[in-house]
Amino acid sequence: MFCGSSSRVDARYRDAAAEFGRLIAERGAELVYGGGRVGLMGLVADAALEGGARVTGVIPRFLMDLEVGHGSVSELVVTDSMHERKAEMYDRAGAFVVLPGGLGTLDETLEVLTWSQLKLSTKPVILVDIDGFWQPLLALIEHTIERGFTRPANRDLYRVVPSVEAVFEAIDEFEIPAGGDVSSKWL
C-alpha cells in the first residue's frame, strides 16, 4: 500500500485509511506498507493490527533514525535506502493499493506503473480516488496519451476505484496485462 505520511489532511482521507486497515483484517489479507507510524500509513497499519492482520512495514534507516518507524507491526524491515525500500515492498506485495498522498506516494506509484509498462511487473495497481483525489494525475496521464508520449493501452495498467470498499473486488477482477499471477492476499 502506498499513501501519505501527513496527518494534516482532511478527515475523509483519514477515515478511509482506517477503514481500509479494518477491511484488510476482515479479508484476512496482509498489509505491506512503508513502515511509518504517522499519517495515513500509520492509520491503516493501526487499524489492520487492531483487527488481527499481519502487518509488514518497510522503512529506510534514516526514517527509523527520525523515530517515525512503527514499533508495533508484525515485522519491520529496515533498508539502507529508499530504492531498497521500494524493491523490498515490491517483492513482498501482490498488489499495490494507492490512497491519497504526496510526492513520495506519487514516486512509488509511478515507478510501479513504469515497471508494469515495461512488463517487469504483473501486479495490480489500484488507485483509490476518494472524492476525486487522483483526477489531476489521471488527467496528466491522459495528456501524455494525447500528446503521444504514452500508449493508450497503458490505461490497462491500473484501475481506479471510488472507495476503499471497492479495492478487493478490483484486485480480484484485475486482468494482468503482461501475464502472470495475481493474489489479493498481499497488499
Enter the C-alpha cell of residue 30.
Answer: 496482509
Q: In whole angstroms, give the CA distance from residue 12 to residue 116.
A: 30
pLDDT one-digit tens code per residue, 49-93: 999 999 999 999 999 877 688 989 999 999 999 999 999 999 999
Q: What is the pLDDT of residue 179?
A: 42
Residue 20 has pLDDT above 50, yes or no: yes
Cβ atoms 136, 123 nearer than 8 A: no
What are the domain boundaries of the chain?
A: 11-173
Q: Are 22 and 49 in contact (CB under 8 A)?
A: no
pLDDT band at 36 (very low <50, low <70, confident <90, very high): very high
| pLDDT bucket at 2, cuts 50 / 70 / 90 | very high
Q: What is the pLDDT of residue 109?
A: 97
Q: Are 61 and 79 in contact (CB under 8 A)?
A: yes
The one-letter code for the residue type at 30 is E
Question: Is the pLDDT at 128 greater than 90, yes or no?
Answer: yes
Residue 72 phi, psi dihedral angles, 5° rounding: -115, 5
Mean pLDDT of 139-154: 96
Tell me the pLDDT tens digit for each residue of 114-127. Answer: 999 999 999 999 99
Determine the CATH number of domain 11-173.
Answer: 3.40.50.450
